[in-house]
Amino acid sequence: MPKILVTGATGQIGAELTLALRERYGADSVIAAGHRREPSDHLMHGPYVSLDVRDAAALDVVVAGRCITIIYHLAALLSAVAEEQPLQAWDINMNGLLNVLESARQHGCQVFFPSSIAAFGPGTPPYNTPQDTVQHPSTIYGITKVSGELLCDYYHRRYSVDARGLRYPGLISNQVLPGGGTTDYAVDIFYAAVKQRHYDCFLRADTQLDMMYMPDAIAAAMQLMQTDPGKLTHRNGFNVTAMSFTPAQLAAEIQKHLPGFTIGYTVDPLRQAIADSWPRHMDDSAARAEWGWQPGFDLPGMVADMLAHISAKFRNG
């Protein structure tokens, strides 16, 4: 039975991934590591540690002391927050990853590292963005993501660390609120639609970006990590997407369920500039061919499920 450490476990992905891993491997096999944010009650239904990933010695104590075999390394600062605190973003995103890879090297762990569409940049082909293409991001977040992909590849080539990863698009979930990314609008809009029947969007109406519903994001991570390594030509930074839409298209889909819903636009120049530097739609055929990636939710399916969950949340207080 694997022993798993999830860093960033209190975050948007970490909270749901920890639960899914505990369901599969048993609660005691999955250690949730949080930092600063208050853990939810359900995270405490299993082992929990407080850990700053920049503290290499503290990380090593957990990895060695708990006999960890797999590290899902989710701790990071996201795009919009990173742009406001670039030095801290570099410190957390890069030194945190380096510490995780070093610990993995010393203790023989497998590592999952989530990259992002932010690892591309304005010079990347925006439509059908290939798996292997130009990666010159213009944001500090993107720079840490492309560097992270390269570092993971290096640790695999040089030290045989089994590091694997995905380039996630914007992620939409109904459990934990997103932590300061450029695609957060695609979650916020549902809360506003259910509560106020109106949403003021910080991206332009025609900003097309790749997106994915959280159940698919969790399934993708777990599926990639279980794939026979002999089947992988790539290892890190697999393009994965499930849908690609604009704020206007998302609003139109929500209006099919809530006809009175309206959307307005007050563009935030920082987040708009970040979004404009990202691809519109990635080609994820390498993930489909190498490890069988197949999303379960498209735009209509995701919207129906999000509205059902968020309406229930408000009904039940």
* Bridge partners of residue 164, in order along the sequence: 112
Closest to 292 measured CA to CA, from 229, 236, 227, 210: 227
CB of 260 to ligand NAD, least distance (A): 28
CA distance 276 to 283: 18
CB of 52 to ligand NAD, least distance (A): 4
Nearer to ligand NAD by C-beta: 7 or 244? 7
Task: Catalogue the E-assigned strands of 103-226.
Answer: 110-116, 127-129, 163-168, 170-172, 198-201, 209-213
Contact 38, 195 (CB under 8 A): no
Nearer to ligand NAD by C-beta: 133 or 255? 133
CB of 125 to ligand NAD, least distance (A): 19
Q: Where do contacts with ligand NAD occur on this chain (CB under 6 A)? A: 7-8, 10-14, 35-37, 51-54, 74-76, 78, 92, 96, 114, 116, 168, 170-171, 178-179, 181, 183
CA distance 81 to 85: 6
Nearer to ligand NAD by C-beta: 92 or 101? 92
Residues involved in catalysis: 141
- Residue 240 zone, left/alpha/beta (φ > 0; ψ -120 to 50; rest): beta
CB of 36 to ligand NAD, least distance (A): 5
Nearer to ligand NAD by C-beta: 52 or 258? 52
Helix (H, G, I), strand (E, B) or coil at 114: strand
